[in-house]
Amino acid sequence: MDIDLDQPAHVISDALASGNLTAAALMQATLDRIAARNPDLNAIVSLRDAETLMAEAATADATPRKGWLHGMPLAVKDLANVAGLPTTMGSPAFRDRIAPTSDIMVQRMQDAGAIVIGKTNTPEFGLGSHTFNPVFGATQNVYLPGRTAGGSSGGAAVALAAGMIAVADGSDMMGSLRNPAGWNGVYGMRPTWGRVPSEPLGDMMLHPLSTNGPMARHPRDIALLLDIMAGPDPRQPHGLDHDPLAPHLDADLTGRRIGWLGDWGGAYPMEDGVLDHCATQVARFTDLGCVVEGVPPPFAAGALWDSWITLRSYAVAASLGPLYDQPATRAALKDTAIWEIERGRALSASAVQRASLIRSDWFRAAARLFDDFDALVLPTAQCWPFPIDWTWPHSIAGHPMDTYHRWMEVVVPVSLIGLPSLAVPLPLSDGRPMGLQLIGRSRGDLGLLQLGQGWQALNAA
Nearest residue to 321 (alpha-carbon basis) of 351, 345, 355? 345
Active-site pick, 77, 119, 198, 313:
77
Active-site pick, 152, 171, 307, 415:
152
Query: Can you tell me whether residue 395 is helix, strand or coil?
Result: strand
Active site annotation includes 77: yes
What count of other Cβ atoms lies within 10 Å of the Cβ of residue 205?
8
- Calculate ∠ Cα 132-421-240, nearest 5°: 105
Active site annotation includes 176: yes
Active-site pick, 91, 102, 176, 210:
176
Query: Can you tell me whether residue 213 is helix, strand or coil?
Result: strand
Whether 309 and 403 have beta carbons less than 8 Å apart is answered as: yes
In whole angstroms, what is the distance from residue 23 CA to residue 17 CA?
10
Alpha helices in 370-437 (DSSP H): 412-417
In whole angstroms, what is the distance from residue 89 CA to residue 287 CA?
43
In whole angstroms, what is the distance from residue 21 CA to residue 13 CA?
9
Query: Can you tell me whether residue 396 is helix, strand or coil?
Result: strand
Q: How deeply is 364 buried, as exposed, middle or buried, from its count of CB atoms within 10 A (0-12, 13-18, 19+)?
A: exposed
In whole angstroms, what is the distance from residue 272 CA to residue 309 CA?
26
Active site annotation includes 421: no
In whole angstroms, what is the distance from residue 421 CA to residue 181 CA?
12
Q: How deeply is 372 buried, as exposed, middle or buried, from its count of CB atoms within 10 A (0-12, 13-18, 19+)?
A: exposed
- Please report the DSSP string for 125-180 in residue order: GG-SSS-EETTTEEPBPSSSTTBB--SSSHHHHHHHHTTS-SEEEEEESSSTTTHH
Q: Where are the beta strands (DSSP E) in 233-368?
A: 257-260, 291-294
Query: Can you tell me whether residue 260 is helix, strand or coil?
Result: strand
Whether 232 and 198 have beta carbons less than 8 Å apart is answered as: no
Whether 92 and 134 have beta carbons less than 8 Å apart is answered as: yes
Alpha helices in 254-300 (DSSP H): 274-282
Whether 388 and 147 have beta carbons less than 8 Å apart is answered as: yes
**Active site residue ranges:** 77, 152, 176
